[in-house]
A and B are shown apart, each in its own frame.
Chain A
Amino acid sequence: MIVTITLNPAFDHLLFLPEISLGKLNRAISTLRMPGGKGINVASSLAVLGEEVVTTGFLGGQGSRTFEGSLRKIGVTTSFTYIDQEIRTDFYIIEEKENRQSLLIEEGVSIERRYLNSFKANFERLLPSAKLVEIGGSLPKGTTPDFIKELILSANKKKVKVVLNLRESILKECLDSASLFIVCPDVRETCCVFGEDLRNSASRPKAAQELLNKGAEIVILKYGDLGYFVAKKDEVWEGEVEVGGSNVIMLGVRDGLLAGFIHNYIKTNNIGEALKFGLGAALSTSRSKMNYLNSKEQAEELCLMANVRKIA
């Protein structure tokens, strides 16, 4: 069983319209609303790939039942800690005529200490059945990177592999002291890790090496829409695939790649194959209107289009 953690989950609310006129009344042609957040997206994709997955985090408010129901419908087991607040909604405005997407993110809930204790107790009960834990997304108010560190150490104690899918500022606090299986920094806002610009091919090995030195077994770095650099102690791979088409919704695509990579790597132990399959899963996600991939079959088919090579 795989456990994914999203401390600050959100409803992803997609609004489709030809173009937006700022300061005026705008009507959406269609809308989509679905459970979201990094760990949630990874869990959804893993479930579509046939993995047994439990997702956990904080949930509350009127929409929570729909939130959980949508996840269970696609095969994700839920194990949330309930709080007395409404979770956030992230708005994606998709202007089809303009081929432009804008994202508006709410800050989210504030977590009281007593809920943190309940969450941690719940998480620790999941560990005896877990083979891997993925921690993703932002931190809600009331939590600190130290809390993530506590969760990592609990998993380490039970010899459960840990995957981190977090922003650099949080990652920095969690490295060094723990054993990490995969580190995949969230670079949506900066494109940089440790000051290295990942768009520059010479910078990627430096950033990856830094993360490997700090205890990561495998490092995954994103450098384009669908370009990824994967490094392990003794091998380095790079791969990309063409996104293609217009109005492609990139929501959950990076999480799709991570889910595909995990799903394949835990079976094959082969970085090249896992990266190839991960790119197929990411491409399948980009062709879906949801924040997870369409199907395992589509990922298998699309991964054949990926250009993957060993560079060291």
Chain B
Amino acid sequence: MKKVKDFITRDLTSVMEDTPLKEVAELLSLRELIGIPVVNRENEVTGWISETDIIASIFPEKVKIENPDMIHLMNLSQVVKKLTQVGQAMVRDYMIRNVYRVKEDTPASDVVELMLHKDFKRVPVVRDKRLVGVVDRSSLSRILLEEGSID
């Protein structure tokens, strides 16, 4: 059975809870990533921050991303105020703390489950709580197609 270690992307790009949100936005843009792990000083995964979290932080709760037309209805001063707040915000203010992690020996079938049923696109891989890489949908698809099956 294929395991996470067979399709892990061994990249440790991550941010810390005290990283300013605007740095994360720049990093995600430069790396063309949709989200990255949040780690502590020991490189242990403590959460996850995504572009969705950042966008959601800028617009008030009543504006749903699924309804972008609503954005135009927002008061301009409200947006400016929010942008100022977000400009000073840290990762800890908007990160998701309850994050799923997998290990290098986690079976591929468990990752399929997470990605299909929990709708995750990228999941951090840990060893002794420390970040060792990520798995994403594209590498999972590639390994599944290469093998023809997950077993």
Contact = CB atoms under 8 A, between A and B. Distances in A.
Interface stretch (B6-14, B50-58, B106-114): B6-14
Interface in A145-178: none
B42 interface: yes
Interface in B36-69: 39, 41-43
A77 B134 CA distance: 11
Contact of A84 (B16, B30, B43): B30
A60 interface: yes
B92 interface: no
A75 B10 CA distance: 8
Interface string A115-140: 00010011011101100000000000
B41 A125 contact: yes
A129 B126 CA distance: 12
A85 to B, nearest CB: 10
Interface string A52-88: 0010000010000100100010011111101110000
A82 B31 contact: yes
Given A79-B13, A80-B13, A125 B27 contact: no
A60 B13 CA distance: 13
Residue with the highest number of chain A CB atoms closer than 10 Å, among B30, B32, B132, B133: B30
Interface residues of B, number: 20
Contacts of A60: 30
A79 B36 CA distance: 13
Interface in A176-235: none
Interface string B104-147: 00000000000000000000000000101100000000000000
B93 interface: no
Contacts of A121: 16
A77 B30 contact: no
A68 B39 contact: no
B12 A54 contact: yes
Contacts of A79: 11-13
A77 B39 contact: no
B41 A77 contact: no
Contacts of A72: 9-11
Interface residues of A, number: 23
Contacts, number: 49
Nearest to A79: B12
Nearest to B30: A82
A136 to B, nearest CB: 19
A77 B11 contact: yes
Contacts of B31: 82
A126 B23 contact: no
B10 A78 contact: yes
Contacts of B42: 125, 128
B13 A77 contact: no
B8 to A, nearest CB: 9
A77 B10 CA distance: 5
Interface string A71-109: 010011111101110000000000000000000000000
Interface of A: 54, 60, 65, 68, 72, 75-80, 82-84, 114, 118, 121-122, 124-126, 128-129
Q: 8 tightest A-B contacts by CB? A: A79-B12, A77-B10, A82-B30, A125-B43, A78-B11, A128-B42, A72-B10, A82-B31
7 contacts: A77-B12, A78-B10, A82-B13, A82-B27, A114-B23, A125-B16, A128-B42
